[in-house]
Amino acid sequence: GAVVSQHPSWVICKSGTSVKIECRSLDFQATTMFWYRQFPKQSLMLMATSNEGSKATYEQGVEKDKFLINHASLTLSTLTVTSAHPEDSSFYICSAEYRTGGGEAFFGQGTRLTVV
């Protein structure tokens, strides 16, 4: 199947700093990628849709100025958590849909963010 790579797999940062997470589709092009967040013992919740060459669309309740998304190419989307706070600590995971695979979604490995 298609491969989506996410980096880093874990990061610890100080409160107030910014953290960038990368999501790459390795063997296919993705005009659209998705960013999800998962809190402990909760289901994955969609944060935003990353669109290549245009602005991301955010789900209700997600601060676009805090979670900056850039989809600079057909294989790379980045999520930057700006001015991170302890409540932003979570598991962030991206996905891309492999269209020629019948619309199957493939996910990255996820990034565990801990803000101290």
Partner 1 sequence: KQEVTQIPAALSVPEGENLVLNCSFTDSAIYNLQWFRQDPGKGLTSLLLIQSSQREQTSGRLNASLDKSSGRSTLYIAASQPGDSATYLCAAPNQGGSEKLVFGKGTKLTVNP
Considering the complex, state which of residue 80 and residue 109 has its C-beta at the smaller distance from partner 1: 109
Binding mask 20-59 for partner 1 (x = CB under 8 A): ------------x-x------xxxxxx--x----------
Considering the complex, state which of residue 106 and residue 115 has its C-beta at the smaller distance from partner 1: 106
Closest CA to 94 of 25, 13, 12: 25
Residue 109 binds to partner 1 (criterion: CB under 8 A): yes
State in angstroms the smallest separation of the CB of 104 from partner 1: 4
Residue 102 binds to partner 1 (criterion: CB under 8 A): yes
DSSP 96: E
State in angstroms the smallest separation of the CB of 12 from partner 1: 14
How many residues in the shown chain lie near partner 1 by CB under 8 A?
Answer: 26
Cα separation, 1 vs 58, whole angstroms: 28
Residue 8: cis peptide before it, omega within 30 degrees of 0: yes
Closest CA to 5 of 108, 91, 75: 108
Task: Please name the helix (run of DSSP H) or strand (run of DSSP E) that holds residue 72, with its range, or none.
Answer: strand 67-73
Q: How far is CA 64 from the centre of its chain?
A: 13
Which residues of the shown chain bind partner 1 in the complex (CB under 8 A)?
A: 1, 6, 32, 34, 41-46, 49, 91, 93, 95, 97, 101-110, 112
